[in-house]
Chains A and B, each alone.
Chain A
Amino acid sequence: MAKTVKLWPPLTEEMVIPLHIGDQVLINGVIYTARDAAHKRLLDLITAGLNLPFEVKGQILYYVGPSPARPGRVIGAAGPTTASRMDVYTPTLLQLGLKAMIGKGRRSPEVIAALQQYKAVYLGATGGAGALLSQCITAAEVVAFPELGPEAIYRLEVRDFPATVINDCQGQDLYEVGIRQFARCRS
């Protein structure tokens, strides 16, 4: 039976292991954003043995490139981008202790295996609901790579940010299970 769980990062293994596919999570506190270009920069820093601009251990990464904030607003639209473009970078970050990612769309078998190995989860937020999701963001600040514009790393403060567990530590995949339930074969 799916449950609703409030999460406050930094997350520990004990907080992540009980999460199962289909569970709803409401995230509160600080999360970090990163898209393709930021991931590449992070991996370059790791390869060079340099420090990362934030502590990855226990954190949640949100795959998003927000639209600019109007004056007086915290942020523009801020929905998830396609996660598969980050697959190639993800296992390295999981090895460093990243505990969750928020995106949309399927992950690679390598990422799903790494989630089991390092005890972490992949969360889905509703793609294309960028205006709605922006309402859960109470503060936003660029913490690295400002030259990347919308692809910079932001530190976001969120309140009850809603997401669904798509891949859990047991190797399950909500997309597969959900689609199997509704697929029809006609010949």
Chain B
Amino acid sequence: MRQVHVHEVMQAVKEAVITANYELGADMVAAFERGQALEESPTGKEIFRQLLENARLAARERIPICQDCGLVVVFAELGQEVHLVGGDFNAAIQEGVRQGYKEGFLRKSLCHPLTRENTGDNTPAVIHLEIVPGEALKLSVVTKGGGSENASRVYLLKPAVGWAGIKEMVVATVQEAGAGTCPPIIVGVGIGGTFERAAILAKKSLLRDLRQANPDPELAALEAELLAAVNDLGIGPAGLGGRVTALGVHLLMQPCHIASLPVAVNLQCHAARHWEVIL
């Protein structure tokens, strides 16, 4: 059995939240460049120029890409041959967030839901743990902004509505979100499972590199259909009108109950910040 010290987990999370907030992924930068070329609206082109400049400036001057440095969501894939030693795994993740947000000059954006009092250190992070074969620990650290999260939706549809009904709800979600969710966006869609599983699938789908196609060709075709429908809305960059409303639609699907059709739509703003580490 391989041993991993929780201090390594803490360190990895700390570095991940800082890196994610300062360095936009190469897939996003490539998508902005492609968007700038594709966009027909002059205003939209200008927004892409600003986003590219923003990303360059953030990395060079060490200014967060966006002032909303996000709520941290950690997808942990823990190999079943790994033995975590040296302390509490959950506490190590929270400590990594605490130190990363302090040392990285990142905004602390978490509060008590009712009193709205800030927790002061951006904890607690939300952790999704999955036990997988092998002896590696993979941490996918997402710093998720509030604006696009607020516009996300879970629907428990009637099975009779089928694919057409799913498509309608995805498009309606993006339409309702409009400019507030910082387009150009990425649309994460989770279909199936249960009420909560659909939402986790939708969020997890956003981890995929934008340059990679869905490994399932049927899902890839459905993604392309949804992307075309979303871009027909004309919302465009910054919501000022244009061809490029979404840079991609990502889909994950699993079987559901015969009575159900859960569909979750997790919207991701263009400040799509995540960082993967394998320990």
Given contacts A37-B116, A130-B65, contact A70 B150 (CB under 8 A): no
Are A128 and B179 touching (Cβ within 8 A)? Answer: no
Contact A128 B62 (CB under 8 A): no
Whether a CB of chain A sits under 8 angstroms from the CB of B47 is: yes
Question: A residues 117-148 with Cβ under 8 Å of B?
Answer: 124, 126-132, 134-135, 148
B138-153 Cβ-contact flags toward A at 8 Å (1 or 0) = 0000000111001000
B45 at the interface (CB under 8 A from A): no
Query: Does A50 make an interface contact (CB < 8 A)?
Result: no
B271 contacts across to A, CB distance below 8 A: 128
Distance (Å) between the CB of A52 and the closest chain B CB?
20
> Which residues of chain B in 56-102 are interfacial with respect to chain A, using CB atoms and an 8 Å cutoff?
57-58, 61-69
Does A174 make an interface contact (CB < 8 A)? Answer: yes
User: Is there contact, CB below 8 Å, between B50 and A126?
Assistant: yes
Instruction: Kindly state whether residue B242 has any CB partner on chain A within 8 Å.
Output: yes
Pick out which of these stretches binds chain B: A5-13, A74-82, A91-99: A74-82
Q: Check B63–A131 contact: CB distance below 8 A.
A: yes
- Closest Cβ of chain A: how far from B136's Cβ, in Å? 33
Interface residue stretch chosen among B187-195, B200-208, B209-217, B229-237? B229-237
A67 at the interface (CB under 8 A from B): yes
Binary contact track A131-174/B, C-beta < 8 Å → 1, others 0: 11011000000000000111100000000000010000000001
| CB <8 Å contact, A106 and B67 | no
Are A131 and B65 neighbours in the complex by a CB distance under 8 Å? yes
The answer to whether the Cβ of B255 comes within 8 Å of any Cβ in the partner chain is no
Count A-side interface residues using an 8 Å CB cutoff: 47
Q: Give Cα A81 to B145, complex, Å.
A: 10
| Contact across chains for A175 and B232 when beta carbons are under 8 A apart | no
Asked whether B232 lies within 8 Å of A128 as measured between CB atoms, the reply is no
Q: How far is the CA of A47 from the CA of B273 in the complex (A)?
A: 41
Within 8 A of B (CB), among A35-83: 36-37, 64-70, 76-79, 81-83
Tell me whether B65 and A66 are in contact (CB under 8 A).
Answer: no
A105 with B178, Cβ < 8 A, contacts A132-B53, A135-B57, A179-B235 known: yes
- Residue among A65, A134, A186 making CB contact with B232, cutoff 8 Å: A186
- Is B107 in contact with A150, judged by CB distance below 8 angstroms? yes
Contacts of B66 on A, CB cut-off 8 Å? 77, 79, 128-131
Provide a sorted-by-A list of 12 A–B residue pairs whose CB atoms are within 8 angstroms.
Answer: A65-B109, A66-B107, A68-B105, A77-B58, A77-B63, A77-B67, A105-B180, A130-B67, A131-B54, A131-B61, A174-B240, A183-B234
Apart from A127-B179, A128-B65, A178-B43: 17 A-B pairs, beta carbons within 8 A: A65-B109, A67-B64, A68-B105, A68-B107, A70-B105, A77-B66, A82-B147, A104-B182, A124-B179, A128-B54, A130-B54, A131-B58, A131-B66, A150-B107, A150-B109, A180-B241, A181-B241
By a beta-carbon cutoff of 8 Å, the part of chain A in contact with chain B is 36-37, 64-70, 76-79, 81-84, 104-106, 124, 126-132, 134-135, 148-151, 164, 174-175, 177-186
